[in-house]
């Protein structure tokens, strides 16, 4: 009888131990997920200013491809952490920085200076030089990054692709983009 009780006791404790370990293992990703916004706000991360290059890299009147490193990249991301975008230098410190992804299904668009159009190879979507929709299936203009010029460097806000759900995305489809004032003073909202 006492043998039986002590065996049951041991098994019970073993069960508690195994269940506790399993719960701890399951909790790690959940806690990480819940704390992720706090870590992002804390500094760096994908909500940070990223340098695209010096102003001299982007001649006035031209649209050029630029690449930035995803600020929340992991060591195993390799080249997928290099994110391209299109930079259009209007004049002075006025730019437009477009996400490379088509607003239809996300294929990378390409700039054709001869026709002054961005063209999407997937379904024939076309955009004008200012990113507004020209023709094809895209329902809207190209997404734009918010940018600023600081110390002769062109910088964009955030390494994530702007979307309609993201307040930092702006549009050039004829409607005024949301104007934002940045503490940096010289920063300029896209649009």
Helix, coil or strand: residue 76: helix
189 binds ligand FES (CB under 6 A): no
CB of 139 to ligand FES, least distance (A): 10
CB of 77 to ligand FES, least distance (A): 23
CB of 125 to ligand FES, least distance (A): 3
Instruction: At 7, give phi and psi (nearest 5°).
Output: -65, -40
CB within 8 Å of 64: residues ≥ 6 apart: 57, 58, 86, 87, 89
Contact 122, 109 (CB under 8 A): no
Query: Which of 8, 123, 179, 186 touches ligand FES by CB under 6 A?
Result: 123
Query: Which of 136, 140, 161, 178 touches ligand FES by CB under 6 A?
Result: 136
108 binds ligand FES (CB under 6 A): no
> Cα(26)–Cα(40) distance, rounded to whole angstroms?
22
**Residue ranges binding ligand FES (CB under 6 A):** 102, 104-105, 107, 120, 122-123, 125, 136-138
């Amino acid at each position: 009888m006492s043998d039986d009780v002590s065996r049951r006791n041991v098994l019970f404790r073993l069960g508690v131990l195994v269940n506790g370990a399993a719960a701890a293992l399951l909790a790690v990703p959940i806690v990480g997920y819940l704390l992720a916004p706090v870590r992002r706000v804390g500094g760096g991360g994908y909500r940070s200013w990223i340098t695209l290059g010096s102003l001299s890299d982007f001649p006035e009147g031209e649209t050029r491809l630029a690449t930035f490193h995803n600020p929340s990249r992991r060591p195993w991301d390799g080249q997928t952490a290099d994110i391209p975008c299109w930079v259009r230098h209007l004049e002075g410190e006025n730019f437009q920085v477009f996400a490379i992804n088509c607003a239809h299904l996300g294929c990378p668009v390409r700039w054709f200076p001869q026709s002054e159009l961005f063209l999407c190879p997937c379904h024939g979507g076309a955009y004008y030089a200012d990113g507004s929709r020209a023709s094809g299936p895209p329902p809207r203009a190209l997404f734009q990054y918010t940018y600023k010029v600081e110390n002769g460097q062109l910088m964009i806000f955030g390494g994530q692709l702007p979307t309609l759900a993201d307040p930092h995305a702006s549009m050039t489809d004829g409607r005024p983009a949301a104007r934002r004032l940045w503490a940096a003073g010289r920063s300029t909202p896209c649009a």
